[in-house]
Amino acid sequence: MATEITADEVRIDVGRAAPMNAFLARPADGAHPLVLVCAELWGLTDQVRDITRQVAELGYVAVAPNLYHRSGPETASGFAESDANRTRAFELLGRLTRDDVEADLRACAAHARDHANATDKTGVLGFSLGGHIAFFAATRLDLAAAAIYYPGWLPVAGTALSRPTPLLDDAPAIAARDVRTLMFFAELDHVIDADQRAQISAALDASGARHEEIVYPGAQHAFFFPGRAPYDKTAADDSWTRVQDLFRTELTQ
């Protein structure tokens, strides 16, 4: 039986910038660990809100921020998938900075603890661009676990937060913070090929991080969400079971 939850759109103070909109879902009663949910390229869409609710139903306070908020109120509800919106979203992710994203994620955690009864135990869950952001979060925040789906641009400089250097260069910070990291990849991913997967695994090995990478045969990038062409139910279901096990072990025990 699913946990009864409450879910709300919230505004979060991030200092000098205008307040950031976010979606927060939590169990109706009690104190619970926190999970930060990081969206794909398309931003804070209804699908991201749905997965945030699902995380809350597992017994966590879940917060999904709109990390594009500094680019204007039209970003508040994300973007439908289209070529024009892809171009627009790449413009927006090009404006993200490491310091701003860190500030936004820290503000989400503070809001959840001050207003939603979240405990100090924290995990992160991210998809594609959100996986990239989740990897970054594991290098900067006090996290216990990171569940990372098909994260783009980790070993290659120039895109999103891999500026000026690849985010993968900061893998030792994940080990130093003892963040247990679980990554999910697609064999036929057009964004992250086998060579990049090998680079990511090797860097985490060398750092001494606690990590595991799962590659799903025949799957494509963005395999997780139903109703989309790349959806792979076998990969999605298996990965979600593993996410639940990761969070149960690292956040609640």
**Residue-wise pLDDT tens digits, 169-178:** 999 999 999 9
Is it the case that residue 246 has pLDDT exceeding 80? yes
List, in order of start, the domains of the chain with CATH numbers. 5-252 (3.40.50.1820)
Q: What is the mean pLDDT of residues 189-196?
A: 95
pLDDT, residue 2, reads 63
b/e code 185-220 from CB counts within 10 Å (16+ = b):
bbeebeebeeebbebbbebbeebebebeeebbeebb
The answer to whether 137 touches 35, Cβ cutoff 8 Å, is no
Q: What are phi and psi of 154, to 5 degrees?
A: -70, -45
Q: What is the mean pLDDT of residues 167-191?
A: 97
Q: In terms of pTM, does the model score above 0.95?
A: yes
Is it the case that residue 237 has pLDDT exceeding 60? yes
Q: Sort 241 into a burial class: Cβ within 10 Å, 0-12 / 13-18 / 19+.
A: exposed
Q: Where are the alpha helices (DSSP H) in the chain?
A: 46-57, 83-93, 98-115, 129-140, 171-177, 194-207, 233-252
Place of tokens 């895109």: 159
